[in-house]
Amino acid sequence: MSELADILERCTSAAEDPSFPAVREWLDAHPGGKVLGHFQVYFPEEIAHAAGMLPIKLMGGGTGVQIRRADAHIAAFVCSIVRSTLELALSGRIDFMSMFVTHPICDAARHSCGVWARNFAGDCQILYFPHNATSTHAAEYLTGEYRRIAGAIEAQTGRSIADEALRESIELFNESRRLLRDLYAIKRERPWLVTAVEAYTLTRAAGFMPREEHTTLLRRALALIEEREAKRQDRIRVVFEGGFCEQPPLDLLAVLQDVCYIVDDDLLIGLRWLTEDVPTSGDPLENLARSYLGTSSYSPVQRDPRKPKEHMLLRRIRESGAEAAIVASAKMCEPGLEEQVGYAQALDEAGIPHLIMEFEEKMVVFEQVRMEAETFAESLLFEFA
Amino acid sequence: MTGKGASGIAPASSELKHAGATRREGRRLIDQWWQELSAADAEARPVANVFVMGSIAEVLRAFDIPMSFPEIAALQTAIRGKSMDYLLAAEDQGYSPDICAYVKVDVGLHVTGREHPHGRLPKPSLVVSTNMCNTYIKWSEIWERMYGCPLFVLDIPGWRGTGFEYGVNGGSFRSDCAYVQGQLRELIVMCEQVTGRAFDVDRLREVMGEVNRMSEMYREILAENKNRPAPFNSLTEGVVHMGVANAYRGHPEGSRFMEAARDELRERVHAGIGPIPDERFRLLFVGPACYTNFRRFVEMFEEWGAVFVAAEYASYGGGGLDRGIHYDLARPIESLAEQILLSSQTSFSGIFHSHQWQTGVVRDWSVDGICFHGVKSCRTTSTGLPDAREWLMRNENIPGLFIQSDLVDARLWAEAQLKNRIDAFFESLQGRKASARR
Ligand code: SF4
Ligand code: SF4
C-alpha cells in the first residue's frame, strides 16, 4: 500500500469506526487520561488540550450506529445526529468520556443537554456562544464563558490551565488549521489531485485523534497529494453547502465526486471555523474569543449581521471559482432547512445553477441522488459546452 | 385548598358578579390590539415583530412601538381553520414540511398580502428576537431579507448544564447580567433610531411598574388552580391569560384584565365551580397546544373528567411572568437585565431541563399525571419530552402520557390514534387511584 493510502486508512479508521480506536489508543498511552466530547459545530479545543484532556468531536453515529435506545428519549421529529449521538452514550460506546459539551446552535442540540444530564454520568455543559456577535459586549462575555468552561475542565483533570500551556495549544491548533486551509486550497485550485472523500476523511480525522498526530499525518498527506500526477477532467465545479452539522454519509460524497469537483464546502466547518491564526500574545482565552467573533467562517446556526449567510455563500462560490452549488440540508434540521430557502433565492437572483437536496447521516440508498446529480451536471456541461 | 361552595350546589351564574369577565375582556383586548396593529400599518407607523418568550415589551412600550406577535397571529389562523392556506403558500416557496409551522403560516401571510382573519398584519419596521428559541432567529432573518428591517437579537445566556446554579448567586450571573444589560442599551439606541425619539427612562419605569403588577396577578391566577376543583383549564382559559399577558405586557389595561380574571376565578373557587362539572383527574400539561383541533383535543381529556390544572406553556408562553417579576425601579436597566435572566431560567431554560420544575408543580397543584404533548413544529419545547416523562416515572413515580400532533399543521392530527393513547392512559390512572384507595 502506498504511504498516502496508509494515512487515509488510519484516518478512516479513526473517523468512521464507532468503537473510537484512536481514542482508545490514546487512553492506553495515557492511563487516567480524560476525554471531552463536544457536539457540533465549534468548540475551542485548545482549552481542553492545554489541560491535558483529549477533545473529540461528537458528530453522530453515521451509518455505523443503529438508533435503538435513543428513540425512547428524544422525539422522532428531531434530526438523526442528535439521536445517534445520544445513542453513542446510551449504548456505552463513549463510556471513556467524562465531559460532554453542547452549544445553543439549534433547539434540538440545546435540548439535548437536559437529556444528557439525566442519562450520562459525566459532566454535561452548554457552552453559550453569543448570538449577538456584534454587540460591543460579546467578546468580554465569551471570554468569561471560556473561563467558565476552562474551570469545568480543570475540575475534571485536577490540573490548572497555565496561559503558557494554552498558548502552546493555540500554536498547535493554528498549525492544524493552516494545514486544513492548504488542503482546501488544493481542492479549489487543483481538485483533480484529491477526491472529495479523501479530503473529507483527512479533515474529519482531526476530530477523533490527538491533534499532534493528525497534524503530522496531514502534513505528510499534503506533500504526497502534491506529488500525484492525476489529470484534470471535464467536470463541473461546485460548492457543497449544508454539511455544517449532521454529516452526509461518505457514500453520498462518493456519488457526488463521480459527477463533479467539490471545490469548496462547509463540511465540518467547526474544524475550520477560525479562518486566521489566533494570536499567541496577550490573554489566550480572550484571543480565542475574539477570533471566534472576528475572524471566522459562517453557518446557519450563528447569527452575525456582518455575515449574511447568502452573501457568504455567494462569496464562497466566487472565491472557489465554482459554477454551481449543491445546497443540501440534513433531514429535520430546522436551521438548515430554513437557510436552504434563503440560499436558493440568492442563487436564483445571481443566476447561479443549484441543486437542492436533503440527506440523512444514515441513508444507504443513493440511486435517486446519483440520478439528480448526474442530470444536474449534464445540464450544466451541455449549457457551457 | 377547597372551594367554599364545594357542596355540590353551584350558585346560578347570574349570582356571580364577575362571570364571563375573562372571556369578554380577553376578546375585547385582543380585538383592540389587532385594530391598533392594522391602524399602525395603514398609517405607516413603525411596528416591531417580537416573540412571546422574551418580547422585551418593556423597552418597546417605552417608545410606544406597537408589537406584533407572529406566533399569536399564527395560532389564531389555526383556531379559525385557516392555517393550512398560509402554510401551503409557504411550502410553495420552498419551505420544508419539516420546519416550524408557525414560521410557515407567517411566511404564507406575508406572501399572500398580509390579510389575517383578525385584521391586516403589519409590515415590521424592527424585529426584536431573542435566542430563547433558535428558530426565532432564523424566522427573524426571513423578515430581514423580505423587508430589509433592522433585527436585534437579544442574546440571553441560559442554563449551562450539570451543577449550574440558578439565581443571583450563580457563578456566571454577574457576567451574564453585564452582557444582557449592555445589549439592552444597544437595543435602546436602535429604538431611538427607528422612532426618531429620545429614550425616556421615566416612561420605562412606568412600564416596568405595570409589569410588576401584572406578574403578581398572573401568579395569583395560576395559584387559584391549586384549589379543588380547579377553577379554570390552564390550556383553554390559560391561552386567554397568555394572549393578554403578551399583547398588554406593561400596559395598564393588561394589569386590569389580570385583576378581573383573578376576581372571576376567586368567585368560582368560592362557588366551587370548575370548567367541568365533576373534576376527577388533575393534570399538568407539558408542551404547546394543538390549535387545529383545540376544542376536540381538550374534550378527549374532559370526557374522562380531567382538567389541566397547570401548564408549562403558561410559563414560557407567558413570557416568564409566572416566576414573579420584581423590577427595582430605582435602577431600571440593570434590574431589567437581571429579571430577564431570572425569569428566563425557569421559562426557556426550564423547558429543556424541566423535571425539577415539573416535580414541584405535581406536588403543589396536586397533580395526578402529566400529559406531554410533543409537536413536530417545535423542537424547542418538544425534543426531550419522552426523556422527561421516562425520568419522572422512574424517579418520582409520576405517571405520564406522551402524545404528538402539531400547533397549526392539520396534517399531523390523528384523532383515533390520540384517543387510543389518551384512553389507555386514563384507564391506568384509574387503576392507580383504585389501588391507592385499597
Ligand atoms: S443537524 Fe440541524 S437540527 Fe440537528 S443538531 Fe445540527 S443544527 Fe441542530
Ligand atoms: S420552534 Fe417552537 S418556540 Fe420556536 S417559533 Fe416555532 S413554535 Fe415557537
pTM for the model: 0.96
Write out the three cell numbers for A37: 466530547
Contact between residue A50 and residue A166 where contact means Cβ atoms under 8 Å apart: yes
Ligand 2: which atom is nearest the Cα of residue B71? Answer: 8
Residue A385 clears pLDDT 60, i.e. is over it? no
Least confident of A111-120, A152-161, A264-273, B212-221: A111-120
Residue A268: name the closest of A208, A314, A215, A308 by CA.
A208
Residues with CB under 6 A from ligand 1: A 40, 79, 81-82, 105-106, 108-109, 245-246, 301, 330, 333-336
Average of per-residue pLDDT across B347-375:
89
Q: Is residue B2 part of a domain?
A: no
Is residue B6 one of the residues assigned to a domain? no
A72 pLDDT above the threshold of 50: yes
Contact B384 A300 (CB under 8 A): no
Q: Is the pLDDT of residue B254 over 50?
A: yes
SS3 B242: helix
Shortest Cα distance, chain A CAs vs residue B428, angstroms: 20
HSE-up (13 A, CA, CB side) for residue B424: 10
User: Tens of pLDDT along B160-210?
Assistant: 988 888 788 888 899 999 999 999 999 999 999 999 999 999 999 999 999
User: φ and ψ at B283, to 5 degrees?
Assistant: -120, 150
Ligand 2 geometric centre to CA of A259 (Å): 39
Degrees, nearest 5: CA angle B334-B340-B344 = 155
Q: Are A80 and A34 in contact (CB under 8 A)?
A: no
More reliable by pLDDT, B305 or B437: B305
All three cell numbers of B13: 351564574
Contacts of A36 in chain B (CB under 8 A): none
Is B63 domain-assigned?
yes
Is the confidence at residue B126, as pLDDT, over 50? yes
Please determine, for residue B15, whether its predicted confidence score (pLDDT) is greater than 80.
no
pLDDT at A32: 94
Atom 5 of ligand 1 has which residue's CA nearest to it?
A109
Rounded mean pLDDT, B391-396: 96
Which residue in A72, A105, A126 is closest to B386 by CB distance? A72
Amino acid at A379: S
How far CA A231 is from CA of A194, B212, B235, B275, in Å, comes to 11, 72, 67, 77
Average pLDDT in the B112-125 region? 96
A319–chain B nearest CA distance, Å: 23
Range of the domain at B384: 20-437
Instruction: Please write the tens of the pLDDT for every residue from A312-325.
Output: 999 999 999 999 99
> Tell me, what's the pLDDT at A383?
66
Span B322-346, average pLDDT:
93
Compute the average pLDDT of residues B281-295.
96
Q: Does some domain include residue B11? A: no
Q: Are B156 and B54 in contact (CB under 8 A)?
A: yes
Q: What is the pLDDT of residue A252?
A: 97
| HSE-CB of A216 using CA atoms within 13 angstroms | 5
Nearest to B186 among A78, A110, A135 (CB): A135
Which tens digits make up the pLDDT trace of A7-34? Answer: 999 999 999 999 999 999 999 999 999 9
Q: What angle do CA B166, B169, B171 make, to 5 degrees?
A: 80
A103: left (phi over 0), alpha (psi -120 to 50) or beta: beta
A167 pLDDT exceeds 60? yes
Cα-based distances in Å from B431 to A12, B368, B425, B435: 55, 12, 10, 6
**pLDDT, position B378:** 94
What pLDDT is recorded for position B164? 85
User: Of the candidates A142, A140, A123, which has an alpha carbon nearest to the alpha carbon of residue A131?
Assistant: A142
Cβ–Cβ gap B161/A73 under 8 Å:
no
Atom of ligand 1 nearest to the CA of A246: 1
d(CA B358, CA A114): 14
* B243 CA distance to ligand 2 middle (Å): 16
Residue B8 pLDDT exceeds 70: no
Q: Which among B99, B171, B380 is the nearest to A337, CB-wise?
A: B99
Residue B337 inside a domain? The answer is yes
Q: What is the mean pLDDT of residues B370-377?
A: 96
Q: Is B305 left (phi over 0), alpha (psi -120 to 50) or beta?
A: left
pLDDT at B437: 80
How far, rounded to the nearest angstrom, does the alpha carbon of residue B389 sit from its chain's CA centroid?
A: 21
Contact B98 A331 (CB under 8 A): yes
How far A195 CA sits from the closest chain B CA (Å)? 31
Predicted local distance difference test score (pLDDT) of residue B13? 53
CA distance B36 to B30: 10
Higher pLDDT, B3 or B158: B158
Residue B8 lies in a domain: no
- Whole-angstrom Cα distance, residue B353 to residue A111? 8
H helices present in B80-163, as ranges: 83-92, 101-111, 134-147
Other C-beta atoms within 10 Å of A283: how many?
14
| Per-residue pLDDT at B3 | 42
A123 DSSP β-pair partners: A99
Q: Please, which residues have CB within 8 angstroms of residue A128's CB and are 6 or more apart in sequence?
A: A103, A104, A145, B157, B158, B160
DSSP conformation letters of A99-150: EEEE-TTSHHHHHHHHHHHHH-SSEEEE----S-TTSTTHHHHHHHHHHHHH
Average pLDDT over residues B6-33: 78
> Strands B115-116 and B119-120, how do they pair?
antiparallel
Res A175 pLDDT > 90: yes
For B83-114, write each residue's pLDDT tens digit.
Answer: 999 999 999 999 999 999 999 999 999 999 99
Q: Angle between the A309-320 and A163-189 helix axes, to the nearest 10 degrees?
A: 60
Over its C-alpha atoms, chain A yields an Rg (Å, rounded) of 20
How many domains, chain B? 1
Mean per-residue pLDDT over chain B, rounded? 93
Ligand nearest to the CA of A331: 1
Q: Coil, strand, or helix at residue A287?
A: helix
Whether residue B10 has pLDDT greater than 60: no
| Cβ-contact B116, B123 below 8 angstroms | no
User: Model confidence at B7, in pLDDT bands (50, 70, 90)?
Assistant: very low
Rounded to whole angstroms, what are the CA distances from B333 to A159, B187, B210? 39, 11, 15
Q: What is the pLDDT of residue B135?
A: 97
pLDDT score, position B9: 43
| Residues B317 and B52: beta-carbon distance below 8 Å | yes
Nearest to B172 among A130, A148, A342 (CB): A148
What percentage of residues in chain B have a pLDDT greater than 70? Answer: 96
Distance CA A175, CA A181 (A): 10
Buried b (16+ CB within 10 A) or exposed e, A45-71: bbbbbbbbbbbbbbbbbbbebebeebe
